[in-house]
Amino acid sequence: MVKFSDNAFTKIFSIATVSATVAMLVSMQSCSNSDRATAPAIINRDSLPILKSIGVSTLISDSGIIRYKIISEDWFIYDKKEPPYWSFEKGMFIEKFDENYHVEAFISADTAYYFETKKLWELRGRVFVKNIKGETFKTSLLYWDQAKHEIYSDRYMEIQGETVLKGYDFRSNEQMTNYSIHNSVGTFPINEEKQTPVPDPEKMEEYADTTQNVNKSNNKKS
């Protein structure tokens, strides 16, 4: 049987106490580092898009019939927002078709939002529309209610046809052929040199095709 002196026992107890203290501190530090390393990131899922597409050129159908062609630099879908919506922050060009796939109207805007549950488009910035009769419409805010089949705006609107009409509180059918405008500023002869040309969809589509090819190439490399 091995006996320890009082001094030896005290030394062993001291060493054991120090060792236990050091081990405890190391363990606490390790747990602390581990907690920091594995702490889950706080992400607000509602703020993230379910879809993000760059270089968009796509056809949209309604009831099995192709109704629109959309060209845009980007397209985001936020399905968790209230209400959910599509976002086109870098501009958008739309061709609207009739049932026989004939173009009824051209629409472009700096920014566009589509609220899917309401079937409502909100077009902002430099909004430009050209109807089948060649009349053009310019404003800074335009709503297109597909559920009610009407287009409207309370902002300043300029219409160029055989004459120039300027005013507010615009209302129209979806084809932009039967419309009214209130608080009219007046009608003026058209200055042919100052007419705004229709945005060139081919250039926008060329950009979309180029971007899609670049994305495909990058995906193959990765």
Task: Delineate the domains of the chain, giving CATH numbers in brackets.
Answer: 46-190 (2.60.450.10)
Stronger pLDDT, 209 or 15, i.e. the higher one: 209
Strand partners, 93: 71, 108
Q: Strand runs (DSSP E) across the chain, as ranges? A: 51-62, 65-78, 85-88, 92-97, 103-109, 111-115, 120-131, 136-145, 150-153, 157-160, 163-173, 179-189
Confidence band of 14 (pLDDT split at 50, 70, 90):
very low
Both structure tokens of 113: 């939002």
pLDDT digits (tens, 9 = 90+) for 160-196: 998 899 999 999 999 999 999 988 776 555 444 444 4
Both structure tokens of 201: 């969809």
Ranking 28-42, 63-77, 120-134, 143-157 by mean pLDDT, the lowest is 28-42
Residue 136 contacts by C-beta under 8 Å, 6 or more apart in sequence? 128, 129, 130, 159, 160, 161, 195, 196, 198
